[in-house]
Amino acid sequence: MNQELTFSDLQTYVQALEAENARLHQTQAQLTADYQRYATFYQQAPAGYFMLDAGGAICEVNAAGSRLLGLSSED
C-alpha cells in the first residue's frame, strides 16, 4: 500500500482544513454574540435571578437580585 500523499492530495486536505477552520471561527463568533445577548437579558431582567452551587450557596445574581438582597454589584 502506498502511503505517500501527492501534492494535490495535500492541497485538498489543507483546503478542507481551512474551510473547517473558517466554519469554526464563524460558529465561535455566533456563540459569543449569543452569550453576550443572553447575559445582557439576564443582568437587565426586572426579576431577581439567583444561581446556586451544589451546596445551595448563591454563586451568581443579576442586578435585580442584588437590589433585593441590598448588595452592590461588586458584592
pLDDT in tens, 50-65: 999 999 999 999 999 9
Q: Kindly state whether residues 7 and 39 are assigned to the same domain.
A: yes
Q: Kindly state whether residues 23 and 37 are assigned to the same domain.
A: yes
Determine the structural domain holding residue 51 and report its residue range.
46-75
Q: Kindly state whether residues 35 and 56 are assigned to the same domain.
A: no
Q: Provide the pLDDT for residue 69.
A: 92
Q: Provide the pLDDT for residue 73.
A: 66
Q: Which tens digits make up the pLDDT trace of 7-53?
A: 999 999 999 999 999 999 999 999 999 999 999 999 999 999 999 99
Q: In the chain, how many domains are there?
A: 2
> What does each C-alpha distance from 24 to 13, 17, 27, 28 come to in angstroms?
16, 10, 5, 6
Give pTM, 2 decimals.
0.65
Cell of 45: 431582567
